[in-house]
Structure 1
């Protein structure tokens, strides 16, 4: 599937965003009956995919196989996966559900990678039958693969995930290369490196190595150092095997996102250039490459738009009660220092709100006191019927719903510039209705417990 040519970037992402908000309100995508929705800038997503491809193409030897596999967890929505596939990306999946979504989006097995620390025998059998690449997360999983490959030969590329144990970043939960991380084989543990080398020498069908040292809050230098450790391990294995047994390096993803402004920083080229400097042999053509970027492809191109239902004051603090809270912005509510979001204020017609900024809390609808997406935030005074936009929320926020208070999942809509300055729309996911929520919550089994 050849990548589509990306459209030229809009003259101003912020200006297009403002037009999209006004159009969403005018067309009822956000309304009294549907008071919250996700909006995704399709041209922006295409541009990010093109920038990723170009960054690696600049430094990679011609003819080197490179697969950019989008981390499905960042946006587990079939239309998004299909859009990225049209832009030349594959999928990295970490569950049967994510694999099913990738397949529904038309992503071929040859462009799919399965990563998870808890793969079941059934998951492994399915992946091996389809020819999907698998990164074993432990020696125990390698034992399981031994049995499965002995009974049924596979075309799946198989590898091992290792943990370079280089330390963490500023967000503990996003740091996957700490001494005690649950992911991969811990290379610095006693005898672990030797066991990994021996595992490859004993299994000629192991041809890949994988590492992913972290995500948001991770310094680029630490990420590049993790790739260096991976490269050096591959060189050691190949030297001891006296052949090019390891032919592909899966270097993970995790490029941090700037949540403080509209600026895209760091850029993919910044990271590719750093890798080229830190691991000179990486791009020379001796190894195929796989990347697994997620958040960085989508975050800057999405927003959550919500109506302000009520405003009030408590202890001298203004509070705007909206329909965007922990059910959508879960990380922001429970870990606000690690996951802050910018909030833009719009009026009842979806126009940018004006007026002197006043410190106020922006609260969500969930029934607990901490359901706040912004605290003491300077914003033009919000009133009932106005709107707030949570910016930079194109990754995770749309598809990682927290079902607190049985609040339904919001609709998600993609937008692109239209003729005469208008906005064109496409439904990515329809808003969940109450009847669907009841069915999901066991509605068909209402009498089940009373009959015991």
Structure 2
């Protein structure tokens, strides 16, 4: 039986073959989400973390497409939101408000009122916000959602590690104050971890998780019994880069956490992790038709209409001809791939590229299509049968007219007077 990595590679090729005809002069770029790959990765997460107390989640900030979020919701994947817009997208995608975990780091009075009126499960990001919630909550005993605090562990031994941290309340700075907060407010029952800096290794992640776990134990000791019900973590396993057919894996993710925090796996707390990157990276790609090829300063360059990528030196690309047939020539050349606003890929080995070829930008996941992205092209969903129907369009994209209208209102007569 073919490995999961091999099946994913094959499914990608099938998706490109199906969608190549959709790339035209009017639509030279499009996004793709492969539902078959999503399902296989969802199953892998559920197999690795099968306990009832564990709930994987995705972040709307990473994956903001309602047609994909609904797919996750129906398969037991929770949702995390960090702004009013993301909260509304989650609601629009079928998630009941009581099932949403909302951790916006800044909320207006009106937004806090909406969150508490809707009984949303949310986290408070600072002491000033805590004072506002104290005023808003009239009946804490009958609040249908759960409320907690957003905590930055400050667990790193490197004092410079938190230089750019700005979300949540610092655990090292305010540990005693936080204990008092929980003693005075029995309705605070969850902790949401805001990592000091984005972890670069599983060990760094586990160190910060361990600090929050120990704080939950300290709260229990201080209040004289169980208090914290849920621990929410915003950084799950990342997608492994490397060979196209490398199998996605989660065993090491669980092993490291279990080795460093053995009690974490006993089910004492509800445990939520954001697996957005792991679940969506391989399932999403951008297809771009090659508009030109040229050379500049000794470099071979393929010019496309796709936006620049934040790390073009790590971009992974495969080439297809205009009909969607994979070009797998033995002879390889180093190309830069350039978009209208910068480099899409840098020094990537590819077979000879021609005008009209299709470049598939891999492993961009749904992050390229989230509410914070600037992706304006159509986005298609591909299913196991490879068939395209009207419902396969997850987003129609935004036309030049749409973007012009969104730029603002032109009122020259007001400027004259």
Normalising by structure 1, we get a TM-score of: 0.84
Q: Distance in 1 between matches of 2:163 and 2:171?
A: 9
- The Cα offsets for residues 100-159 of structure 1, whole Å up to 9 and x where unpaired, read as 111111101222011122122222211111111111111222112111114886322111
- The Cα offsets for residues 315-340 of structure 1, whole Å up to 9 and x where unpaired, read as 221111111122xx3x23xxx45xx2
Contact 1:164 1:229 in 2 (8 A): yes
- Pick from 25, 29, 45 the counterpart of residue 52 of structure 1: 45
Is 1:365 aligned to 2:332, yes or no?
no
The CA RMSD over aligned residues, in Å, is 2.5
Deviation at 1:270, TM superposition (A): 2.2
Find the counterpart in structure 2 of residue 324 from structure 1.
306
After TM superposition, the structure 1 stretch with the greater mean CA deviation from structure 2, 235-244 or 429-438, is 429-438
Find the counterpart in structure 2 of residue 442 from structure 1.
408
Deviation at 1:377, TM superposition (A): 2.1
Moved over 4 A (4+): 8-11, 214-217, 263-266, 400-403
- Pick from 340, 343, 354 the counterpart of residue 317 of structure 2: 343
Matches within 5 A, 1:289-304: 289-304=271-286
Matches within 5 A, 1:155-166: 155-166=144-155
Q: Distance in 1 between matches of 2:272 and 2:196?
A: 16
Contact 1:410 1:432 in 2 (8 A): yes
* Runs of 5+ consecutive residues of structure 1 not aligned to the other structure: 1-7, 170-174
Q: Distance in 2 between matches of 1:105 and 1:166?
A: 36
Deviation at 1:89, TM superposition (A): 1.3
* CA 1:9–1:222: 2 relative to 1, 3 Å: closer
* CA 1:214–1:348: 2 relative to 1, 3 Å: farther
Find the counterpart in structure 1 of residue 358 from structure 2.
387
- The Cα offsets for residues 66-90 of structure 1, whole Å up to 9 and x where unpaired, read as 3333111111111111010011112
Contact 1:348 1:386 in 2 (8 A): yes
Is 1:13 aligned to 2:8, yes or no?
yes
Is 1:154 aligned to 2:176, yes or no?
no
Find the counterpart in structure 2 of residue 104 from structure 1.
92
- Larger relative contact order (CA 8 Å, sep ≥ 6): 2
* CA 1:68–1:312: 2 relative to 1, 3 Å: same
After TM superposition, the structure 1 stretch with the greater mean CA deviation from structure 2, 317-326 or 148-157, is 148-157
Q: Secondary structure of 2:98's match?
A: helix
Q: Secondary structure of 1:207's match?
A: strand
Q: Secondary structure of 2:367's match?
A: coil
Q: Distance in 2 between matches of 1:227 and 1:414?
A: 35
Equivalent pairs, count:
410
Q: Secondary structure of 1:181's match?
A: coil
- Pick from 57, 62, 66 the counterpart of residue 69 of structure 1: 57
Contact 1:215 1:255 in 2 (8 A): no
Q: Secondary structure of 1:74's match?
A: coil
Q: Secondary structure of 2:281's match?
A: helix
Find the counterpart in structure 2 of residue 43 from structure 1.
36
Contact 1:67 1:111 in 2 (8 A): no
- Pick from 243, 258, 267 the counterpart of residue 225 of structure 2: 243
Q: Secondary structure of 2:57's match?
A: strand
Q: Distance in 2 between matches of 1:301 and 1:102?
A: 20
- The Cα offsets for residues 336-386 of structure 1, whole Å up to 9 and x where unpaired, read as 45xx210111112121124311122110023xxxx1112222211211111
* CA 1:129–1:285: 2 relative to 1, 3 Å: same
Find the counterpart in structure 1 of residue 114 from structure 2.
126
Q: Secondary structure of 1:359's match?
A: strand
Matches within 5 A, 1:32-431: 32-57=25-50, 60=51, 64-150=52-138, 154-167=143-156, 178=162, 180-189=164-173, 192-213=174-195, 218-262=200-244, 267-326=249-308, 329=309, 331-332=310-311, 336=312, 340-355=314-329, 356-366=331-341, 371-399=342-370, 409-418=376-385, 422-424=386-388, 426-431=392-397
